[in-house]
Structure 1
Amino acid sequence: MTRILKIPLLLILLTFNSCKQKETNGIEIAETLYVHQDYETNKELRKLIKEALDQKEKAIPKLTSFPCGGGAGCYDLGFVLTQIIYLIGENNFNQMVLRLDTNEIKGLRSLIRAGLEYGDHNNDGKVDDRTIEKEFPILNTTLKE
Structure 2
Amino acid sequence: MGCKEDTVNDVVIGHTLLVHQTLKENRELKELILNSLNKEENAILDLKDFWCGGGAGCYDLGYIITQIIYRLGEDYFVELISNLCEDQVKDLEFLIYAGLEYGDNNYDGKMDDKRLENEFPKLYNLLNK
TM-score, structure 1 normalization: 0.80
Which one-letter code corresponds to 2:58 in the other structure?
C
2:81 maps to which residue?
A: 97
- From 122, 126, 139, the counterpart of 2:106: 122
Where do 4+ consecutive residues of structure 1 move more than 2 Å? 99-106
State the 1:59 CA deviation: 1.3
Which one-letter code corresponds to 2:36 in the other structure?
A
CA distance in structure 2 between the partners assigned to 1:131 and 1:141 by the alignment: 13
CA distance in structure 2 between the partners assigned to 1:110 and 1:103 by the alignment: 11
CA distance in structure 2 between the partners assigned to 1:65 and 1:116 by the alignment: 18
Residue correspondence of structure 1 range 108-119 to structure 2 within 5 A:
108-119=92-103
Which one-letter code corresponds to 2:5 in the other structure?
Q
Identity %: 47
1:138 maps to which residue?
A: 122
1:107 partner SS: helix
State the 1:79 CA deviation: 0.3
1:47 partner SS: helix
> Does the CA contact (< 8 Å) of 1:56 and 1:96 recur in 2?
no
1:44 maps to which residue?
A: 28
> Does the CA contact (< 8 Å) of 1:75 and 1:114 recur in 2?
yes
Which one-letter code corresponds to 1:107 in the other structure?
D
Residue correspondence of structure 1 range 1-145 to structure 2 within 5 A:
16=2, 18=3, 20-122=4-106, 128-145=112-129
State the 1:119 CA deviation: 0.5
TM-score, structure 2 normalization: 0.89
Q: Which runs of 5+ in 1 are unaligned?
A: 1-14
Bigger Rg over Cα: 1
Q: Which runs of 5+ in 2 are unaligned?
A: none
More helix by proportion, 1 or 2? 1
1:84 partner SS: helix
CA distance in structure 2 between the partners assigned to 1:56 and 1:100 by the alignment: 16
